[in-house]
Amino acid sequence: MSGTMEKSGWFRVLGIDPAAAGPTGYGIVESNGRNCRMLHYGAFKVTAKRQKDFSGAALQDIHELLCRLIVEFSPDAMAVENIFTALNMRTALRLAEVRGVVLLAAAQHGVAVHSYAPREIKASVAGHGHADKRQIQTMVRALLSMAEMPEPSDAADALAVALCHLQAEQARRRFNLPVVSSRATREAPPKIAAKIVGPRQATTQGATHVTTRGSVTRIVSTR
């Protein structure tokens, strides 16, 4: 699929907002130099019962979800939010575990991973590094010309991570800067334009998550 995308001029990014206890957000955005469109987004959370039955359930299920998204959407790159250093040690360690699963899934499928600090993502999307979650949701909706506010906020954060990487790649290409990632990207994306063409949805299983169906956002349980 990657070859097809390169020929058509679209560059696709899978953004991930890892979480220690709450939902892990994910969002897929692509640009062809004229349009920037959202393909799919959601927030993944393992049920309390499954977490109780199996301590590693969250990591296993997140890994399986990411692998399904990579196989279905064939992103040219993945972008993930860095661990927030001001968090307590226990939360930071949990986030590190989730981030490790993200890196593992990417490595297994040969996809480059790029990391961005929370303030860098907020500044890229909202214009300043202290934007709150509602501001991020509002700006993501505007940049992608979405009909409704992206919910939950974890999913909006993931879309913001993906948009941040698209903007960083645009600047890198414009100024001929070196690629900084876990692996060199296959191709730099074209210029970003904030116009949605139409969403596509991936089908995920094994968790309760939020996703978009046409212009309506709803809760879907696949258990």
pLDDT digit string, tens, across residues 100-147: 999 999 999 999 999 999 999 999 999 999 999 999 999 999 999 999
Q: Is the pLDDT of residue 24 over 70?
A: yes
pLDDT of residue 141: 96
Q: What is the CA radius of gyration of the chain?
A: 16
CA distance 136 to 114: 20
Per-residue pLDDT of 138-190, as tens digits, reads: 999 999 999 999 999 999 999 999 999 998 887 777 777 776 655 433 333 33
Name which of 10-24, 100-114, 188-202 the model is least confident about: 188-202
Q: Is the pLDDT of residue 206 over 80?
A: no
Name which of 2-6, 18-22, 43-47, 75-79 the model is least confident about: 2-6
pTM of the full predicted structure?
Answer: 0.77
Angle at 27 between CA 116 and CA 129, to 5 degrees: 35
Q: In what order do the strands lie in the sheet with 77-81?
A: 112-116, 77-81, 11-17, 24-31, 36-45, 208-213, 216-221
Mean pLDDT, residues 26-33: 89
CA distance 27 to 40: 6
pLDDT of residue 8: 67
- Residue 126: which domain range? 2-221
Mean pLDDT, residues 181-208: 40
Q: Tell me how far CA of residue 89 lies from CA of 109, 158, 170, in angstroms.
A: 31, 23, 35
Q: Of 114, 117, 10, 99, which Cα lies nearest the Cα of 62?
A: 99
Question: Which CATH number characterizes residue 78's domain?
Answer: 3.30.420.10
CA distance 1 to 36: 19
**Crossing angle of helices 118-126/153-175, nearest 10°?**
80
Per-residue pLDDT of 30-87, as tens digits, reads: 987 677 899 999 999 888 888 778 878 889 999 999 999 999 999 999 999 987 665 6
Per-residue pLDDT of 34-48, as tens digits, reads: 778 999 999 998 888
Number of folded domains in the chain?
1
The residues annotated as belonging to the active site are 17, 81, 154
